Copies of this chain bind each other. A is one copy, B any other.
Amino acid sequence: MTTRTNTIDTVAIVGGTHGNEFSGIYLLRKWQQTPSLVSRDTFQTETVFANPKAFEANKRYLDCDMNRQFSLEDLANNDLANYEQSRAKALNAQLGPKGDAKTDFIIDLHNTTSNMGPSLILLQSDAFNRQMGAYVKMKMPDAVVVLEDQVTVEEHYFLSSISEQGVIVEIGPQPQSVIRQDILDWMDEMTAHILDFVDLHNQGRLPELPASYEAFKYHETLKLPEDENGERIGMVHRNVQDADFKPLKSGDPIFTLFDGTEVSWEGDYEAYPHFINEAAYYDNNLAMSLAKKVTVEV
């Protein structure tokens, strides 16, 4: 088989899609100074600083969230012309165009204020992605694999959906606008394992991988408690804070209202919260994502 997805010829590593997530931005500088760190024999590597203006402003974005601007519809809509919408079109021209992209694989580097550890977010669950998750977990036992394959890659609006294959490296906890060495080192290591995986995949020299592994499949997003005017009236319960990827059962406390009232989660499944109390999600009054635990067969 020599279909296009089976050989990765061009890889883009993208940092600073959000301007106050510093790990990727500082790693890009390091890799631009020493390109051999991210080059491999079987593909070309490009590094891309996605939102330099937001970094200058020390903000997540200037006008709107860059990592929500890559639906085919929005990329084709020339009326969407603010900074991030324009920059998205420029990146699509540089790396894509989405649907027929010159870049085969995009690694988009992110930080979260949530206690998610070193997380690898896969946007689809084909053999390539299932193997990549297995390889990264084998090399990096702390790694967590999150599946956001509820829609097709083309239907995703993330930057890393420009190319036929793309992942999000999501490392936390790190406050916005801070560089923590532990988080930087995790991102550096996970990126290296992903590049190694692609190189071995291209060479048909993947090592023996585990037959299956545990992952977390996105299910739904919960809002913070609001009153009838949409004003926030509560916060994440202290038992749930920092408990990313720990099971949440029906009846467990999930929110505390500012008046002291505890609110329980009344779900009909065992949920695995993540992106718990992520700072950036306050814009939309989101509290956390919930996943279901799944077994990925390699």
- A29 in the interface, Cβ–Cβ < 8 Å? yes
Assess the B113–A175 pair: CB atoms within 8 A. Answer: yes
Q: Is the interface of A mostly helix, strand, loop or mixed?
A: loop
Assess the A282–B241 pair: CB atoms within 8 A. Answer: no
Given A235-B184, A241-B182, the answer on whether A26 and B177 have CB atoms closer than 8 Å is: no
Assess the A279–B241 pair: CB atoms within 8 A. Answer: no
- A181 in the interface, Cβ–Cβ < 8 Å? yes
Assess the B178–A279 pair: CB atoms within 8 A. Answer: yes
CA distance A184 to B257 in the complex (A): 12
Assess the A178–B238 pair: CB atoms within 8 A. Answer: no
Q: How far is the CB of A65 from chain B (nearest CB, A)?
A: 14
Q: How far is the CB of A109 from chain B (nearest CB, A)?
A: 15
Taking Cβ atoms with an 8 Å cutoff, the residues of A that contact B are 26, 29-30, 33, 58-59, 113, 173, 175-182, 184-185, 235-238, 241, 256, 258-259, 277, 279, 282
Q: How far is the CB of A238 from chain B (nearest CB, A)?
A: 4
Assess the B181–A279 pair: CB atoms within 8 A. Answer: no
Chain B residues near A179: list those with CB within 8 A.
235-236, 277
CA distance A10 to B171 in the complex (A): 47
Nearest residue in B to A174 (C-beta to C-beta)?
B175
Nearest residue in B to A239 (C-beta to C-beta)?
B181
Assess the B30–A177 pair: CB atoms within 8 A. Answer: no
- Pull 5 A–B residue pairs with CB atoms less than 8 Å apart, ordered by A: A30-B258, A113-B178, A180-B235, A180-B277, A181-B238
Most-contacted residue by chain B among A33, A175, A182 (CB, 10 A): A175
Chain B residues near A182: list those with CB within 8 A.
238, 241
Chain B residues near A178: list those with CB within 8 A.
113, 277, 279, 282
Chain B residues near A58: list those with CB within 8 A.
282
Chain B residues near A282: list those with CB within 8 A.
58, 177-178
Chain B residues near A26: list those with CB within 8 A.
235, 258
Chain B residues near A181: list those with CB within 8 A.
235-238, 241, 256
Assess the B258–A29 pair: CB atoms within 8 A. Answer: yes
A-B complex: 5 closest residue pairs judged by Cβ atoms = A175-B175, A181-B238, A113-B175, A177-B279, A179-B235
CA distance A277 to B176 in the complex (A): 12
Q: How far is the CB of A183 from chain B (nearest CB, A)?
A: 9
